[in-house]
Chains A and B, each alone.
Chain A
Amino acid sequence: MVELRKLNWFGIASGVAAAVLLLLSIAYAAPWWQLSIAEGLGRVDVSPLDINAQFLGLDVEIPILWYLTLSGKLIMLAAIVALFACSAFPENRYAKNLLGYGYKRPLIMVVVLVVILIILTALVGLILPIKVPFLGGQTTTLTFDGANVSVPISASFTWVFWLAVATAALALLARVYHRRIASLAKA
């Protein structure tokens, strides 16, 4: 019988939020960060679970992205299972190991995504004659056959990113709260 007061509610909330992130990815490929080129001429949707790019109606496909995001989904699934299991049975002898595995994954995903985006947007600006903002808007002017083309590009985090941040924060709280439950159990 599970005692309600001994449940790790932060862990359960984190698991639910992570499950929502995974479902949003499977159902809608919901991006955490979005780059828009002009008014719908191009779009790059990025999250650790899905990466999609489209320019002038053309889907840009890079094989490694499919494998990376599949890995992302599996990592998220494992983290969800671990968070639920350790939160529902905090006194189990393996709960600490499960929590140690589960609480870090959402945080790592958020941090790695932000770091990679900062590096990639800076790299694109160095390699190509185009400025890609990490956040906010920027206009680049290119010249083709005597024509000047001004390309407005804007980038922003979506609400799904903030849900991911909340998931990571709840997972961290679950880690802290687990110690309290452990001391309760000893008492």
Chain B
Amino acid sequence: MRFGLVLFLVSIVTISPVLVALVGYRENLAALFMPTESTMTSIRDLGSALPSLEYLSYEVIDSAQPLAVRINFKVSSALSSDVTINSVKLTAYCHDHGTFLGYVSAENAPLVVPAEASAVLRLRVDFSQEGRNDVETYHRGYANLYLDLRNLEIDIQGLEISFSEFSQVGPIGIPVP
């Protein structure tokens, strides 16, 4: 009988942390079951911490045939851990004429964006025949080519993000060869 009481007391001791928590939080029991205030603040700030893309510059890789352009984007991340961009797929269209200019590929993927820092994502546009015609007709010799990047598919560590459009990237000047 006495030993049963000992085991009962042991049982009480083992669940005592939960009892202590219930007593300690009795004024605000909800706080015991909710994420802490610091966690909630961090979660609220998560939206602004997610990696963002910003057009930086361009380079004409080959101004003759086949025409190819490199577009550099600054990828900034305020997250507290490194993020890896595995792949980027998209297509480029002329902003003014809606012409399909060509497919775009990432030159430096996978790209590691360090925690709370930025990295440069290099995208290469290989112009299609239709795209080359558009450039020759309307943009050759002027810095007036704006790209609309459509059907963006970015793989960030297995997380696949797709946007419909990233518009008016430029202006890009295609020199006369």
Contact = CB atoms under 8 A, between A and B. Distances in A.
Given A60-B35, A74-B17, A97-B7, A149 B164 contact: no
Interface in A38-78: 38-41, 55-64, 67-68, 70-71, 74-75, 77-78
A64 B11 CA distance: 19
A1 interface: no
A64 B157 contact: no
> Of A56, A59, A147, which is in contact with the most chain B CB atoms at under 10 Å from its CB?
A56
B57 interface: no
Interface in B134-174: 156-164
A57 B49 CA distance: 11
Contact of B14 (A41, A63, A75, A148): A75
Nearest to A151: B159
A58 B158 CA distance: 18
A59 B39 contact: yes
Contact of B81 (A56, A60, A149): A56
The 4 closest A-B pairs by CB, nearest first: A57-B81, A38-B158, A57-B80, A39-B158
A146 B159 contact: no
A7 B156 CA distance: 57
B157 A58 contact: no
